[in-house]
A and B are shown apart, each in its own frame.
Chain A
């Protein structure tokens, strides 16, 4: 026979598991159903390639990236691009897309862009700026 303390723990575990299932499964299903997962992966890779291409270009340049990223967060941190659902934090999105780029020199980009309609990449004197347009 289970003691009172054990019953409380059991109920807690069931509650936590149910909460995870209720929150996670429908959102994962929705992401795959709406093909958002493909959009995230493609966006992460395209942005990484654009950044690499800009670092290979010797002059000042501005590039517009026209893609509706409503509902998504594009985060550039260190040498990685992360694209994830704006309803979640980065580490909690089960369909997080990430891709690596290769900066030159001491150039560091740290940007977090939420619900962007278009992105603009500007390279001025070898420094890269990414912002919402």
Chain B
């Protein structure tokens, strides 16, 4: 058994040797890192935001914010829960409305006209067509050609 009688290797890794200290420092670094990751994960888990709260806050901007689809008149007044139909066909507006790079959410919006049952849909760029999603529905008004119609906004939410 030649490999067990290799005295050179034993000296190289022995206590007090340079390699031993390097290993010690690396192991110590890992242990500090690991313990702080474990503790932080417990803390983060205990303080989780209740399910649905963040999504509810986020989806309100779709029909309330002028940066999204809320109708804004010439004077700059914004109307809550009134969707501007001319804005609704542009993904550019949706991407401007919510920045979703590296996000945990993806959205698909469907605007349904009550009278004609016509459906317009728009998705965020990170939407996966075959993924699971849940739906929130909001009753809104739709501004089109200086007229206000009743409609329904279906918001599909996906965990990206």
Contacts and interface: CB of A to CB of B under 8 A. Distances in A.
The answer to whether A binds B is yes
Interface of A: 2, 6, 9-10, 13-14, 17, 24, 28, 32, 37-38, 41-42, 45, 49, 52-53, 55-59, 79, 94-95, 100, 102-107, 126
B110 interface: no
B47 A45 contact: yes
A95 B79 CA distance: 43
Contacts of B148: none
Given A28-B36, A52-B57, A104-B67, 14 more contacts: A2-B17, A38-B46, A41-B44, A42-B47, A56-B57, A56-B58, A56-B60, A57-B64, A58-B65, A59-B78, A102-B58, A102-B98, A106-B96, A126-B67
Interface residues of B, number: 36
Contacts of A32: 39
Per CB-CB distance, the 5 closest pairs between chain A and chain B, nearest first, are A104-B67, A58-B78, A56-B60, A56-B61, A105-B67
A118 B153 CA distance: 38
A25 to B, nearest CB: 8
Contacts of A14: 21
A67 to B, nearest CB: 14
A55 to B, nearest CB: 6
A17 B39 contact: no
Contacts of B17: 2
A104 B65 contact: yes
Contacts, number: 84
Contacts of A42: 47
B54 A52 contact: yes
Nearest to B71: A58
Interface string B60-82: 11001111101000000011100
A79 B102 CA distance: 10
Contact of B57 (A6, A17, A38, A53): A53
A49 B54 contact: yes
Nearest to B104: A100
B154 interface: no
Contacts of B22: 13
Interface string B79-111: 110000000000000001111100100000000
A126 B66 CA distance: 8
A2 B21 CA distance: 13
B65 A17 contact: no
Contacts of A6: 18
A42 B96 CA distance: 28
Contacts of B70: 58
Contacts of A105: 67, 96-97
